[in-house]
Each structure stands twice: as C-alpha cells, then as structure tokens.
Amino acid sequence: GDSVTQMEGPVTLSEEAFLTINCTYTATGYPSLFWYVQYPGEGLQLLLKATKADDKGSNKGFEATYRKETTSFHLEKGSVQVSDSAVYFCALSDRSNTDKLIFGTGTRLQVFP
C-alpha cells in the first residue's frame, strides 16, 4: 500500500542554519503531498501542500517541491528560528479516497540560539 518515509530525528540546528527534512513516498498513482507541523502540546497544522508533479508548496519561509521522478517531497527552509522547533510530518493523500491521509512518523526539529 501507499506509504511515507521520513528521516529520523531529532534534527538539531543553530538559529539561521539551513534546514532540510527528507521525505519520500510510495504510491500507486499521483497523490497529493503535504507537510504538517506540530508544536508542543498542540494538534497538527497544515504547513504546505502540492497537488501535482513539479508543484512547489510554500509557507512561512518553508518550501517543498513535488518530485515525481525521485518520489520525494523534501522540506527546506533557508534560515531557521528557535520558534520553528516542532515535529514535522510528511503526508500523502490516498488516491482511492483523496480525503484520507497517510502520515510519516514525524521528524523533530530543535533549533538553538
């Protein structure tokens, strides 16, 4: 079945460093791809999405490009802040039911001043 694989964390960075969190997927078709963020003690929030190949989703300085040839959707940010410390989840839509999301295991990001 469809699945999402994320790099294991935690990812530890200094403030203003460049961030990459890797995400690859397996799917029988052309799913939509998402990144969600979870701050401590809160629910998940949609960060960005891309619905077709070569689309780039972006929000709050974060970006991710839907790469069909490498089945990837890596999350990047040019300069992280302490406030970006959170858990990041990659997800894909189940094409048999486009409203059902399949999540990766999450990657914890810790940013230090």
Partner 1 sequence: NAGVTQTPKFQVLKTGQSMTLQCAQDMNHEYMSWYRQDPGMGLRLIHYSVGAGITDQGEVPNGYNVSRSTTEDFPLRLLSAAPSQTSVYFCASTHFGGNYGYTFGSGTRLTVV
The contact mask relative to partner 1 for 2-21 (x = CB under 8 A, - = no) is: --x-----------------
Q: Which two tokens stand for residue 55?
A: 């689309």
> In angstroms, what is the minimal distance from the CB of 46 to partner 1?
4
Q: Which two tokens stand for residue 50?
A: 């891309």
19-27, 65-73, 74-82, 95-103 -> range binding partner 1 (CB under 8 A): 95-103
Sign of CA dihedral 105, 28, 92, 67: positive
The contact mask relative to partner 1 for 70-89 (x = CB under 8 A, - = no) is: -------------------x
Where in 31-70 is the site for partner 1 (CB under 8 A)?
32, 34, 36, 41-46, 49, 51
> In angstroms, what is the minimal distance from the CB of 33 to partner 1?
9
| DSSP 8-state code for residue 15 | T
Output the 3-class SS for 39-107: CCCCCEEEEEEECCCCCEEEECCEEEECECCCCECCEEECCCCHHHCEEEEEEEEECCEEEEEEECCCE
> In angstroms, what is the minimal distance from the CB of 29 to partner 1?
13
